[in-house]
Amino acid sequence: MKFPQVINLETDAVMVFNGDSVINDTDQLPLGTDHSVTSIDVNFKLLSLKSGGELSTSSPITMTYESTLDYWSIRISDLKTQVGFLFSDTDKTKYVGRVTEEAGGTDDMRAFKIEEFAIDNESFTDVWMDLPYQIEIGVTESWMVWYEDGYINTAGYEKFKAPAYEDGIGTTYATDPARVTHRGAIEKI
């Protein structure tokens, strides 16, 4: 994920898709600009990159065409109603997906992919990136350990840990805190 669409569930109103991605399956022309379609009822199928779990909308969501921008949009509130429980994690979660026209639809929309996007639900500030942390250098392993605010070095308050490596490759444990150049997968403790 280099530059994904990041959706904030508290502040963003819509999720958007390029008008060139929403086309008629028969003549391969954009539905908005060439077919003057202004709304389509669609179904979403999402895959969480964090858990690997799939989720589909239980009923169609209306996708609306913004002609002045050549973008299609769906309301975040509609998406939250359909799959909101999927977006309840306390940290950023990434997804990919597929959008299909509602069964029996008349616009002949060709299914399209939703490129990788991330959900930022405002609670991200409470997790590892903003937490106090320390580097623990051991004899055979080294770790980065994040703590709840105010409890650094206090047993029982660790929240996350990740292997701390040197040389930027992720195979050799760091031998000094100043040599940490790479971290392994973060695990919730």
- Domain boundary assignment for the chain: 5-125, 127-184
End-to-end alpha carbon distance in the chain? 25
Reading the block at residue 139, the tokens are 């004899």
pLDDT of 153 reads 63
Residue 125 CB partners (closer than 8 Å, separation 6+): none
pTM as predicted: 0.61
Residue 15 CB partners (closer than 8 Å, separation 6+): 5, 7, 73, 74, 76, 79, 117
pLDDT of 124 reads 47
Determine if residue 169 is left, alpha or beta; phi over 0 gives left, psi from -120 to 50 gives alpha, anything else beta: alpha
Burial of 85 (0-12, 13-18, 19+ CB in 10 A): exposed
pLDDT of 24 reads 95
pLDDT of 92 reads 66
Blockwise average pLDDT, block size 10, the chain, 189 residues: 66 89 94 93 87 82 94 89 63 82 92 86 55 86 80 69 85 90 81
pLDDT of 183 reads 83
CA atoms of 153 and 27, how far apart (whole Å): 64
Alpha-carbon radius of gyration of the chain:
22
pLDDT of 119 reads 78
